[in-house]
Amino acid sequence: MIKTAEFVSPGHPDKICDRIADTLLDAYLTHDPLARVALEVMGGHNLITLNG
């Protein structure tokens, strides 16, 4: 088995996108606990794109 790890700093676009996706998912599940949600958040070069 091969194990890998990646470290990114708190301001990295991956971390920011994860926080946005988590916040949106929490909002959906607060209103409807049975909601089925698929989110893709991409960011870089001063642009954030939401898909889903």
pLDDT tens digits along 10-52: 778 888 999 999 999 999 999 999 999 999 999 989 999 999 8
Q: Between the CA of residue 2 and those of 6, 7, 18, what are the distances in Å?
A: 14, 17, 25
Locate 49 and state its tokens: 């794109």
Q: Which band of pLDDT confidence, cut at 50, 70 and 90, is reported for residue 7?
A: confident
Closest by alpha carbon to 35, among 44, 43, 27? 27
* Predicted pLDDT at 48: 94
Cβ of 41: how many Cβ atoms within 10 Å? Answer: 20
Across residues 3-7, what is the average pLDDT?
82
49: left (phi over 0), alpha (psi -120 to 50) or beta: beta
